[in-house]
Amino acid sequence: MDAILPVNGMARIDYTQDTLFGPITRHVECQVSLQHQAGGTVLKVFQPLPDDLRDAQTVVFALEGRRTRGVVKHRRHLADHSLRLELERQ
């Protein structure tokens, strides 16, 4: 079985964005769902979420006492207005 059941909860997400003036670090607390798959990690972030999270290059978050860091490989807005981030864990 490639996928493990998702873990849901409230998480603080620290994320970086590349700008003309260099990387900017921001943070937000959101309800999330985390699922580890064979190809990487999928983080689904539910509303309300900041508009600039979709432009994140890297994310670091803690959920259920476990800290995860990853590079955003793919992002997609879903029909329920949540944001799906596919991460390559570091």
Helix, strand and coil percent figures for the chain, each rounded to 5: 5, 65, 30
Cα gap 26→32, rounded to integer Å? 17
pLDDT in tens, 9-42: 999 999 998 888 999 999 999 999 999 887 789 9
Count structural domains, the chain: 1
Full residue range of the structural domain in which residue 71 is found: 7-89
Q: What CATH number is attached to the domain comprising 61?
A: 2.40.10
Structure tokens at 30: 């959101």
pLDDT in tens, 44-56: 999 998 888 999 9
Q: Is residue 48 part of a domain?
A: yes
Q: Is residue 71 part of a domain?
A: yes
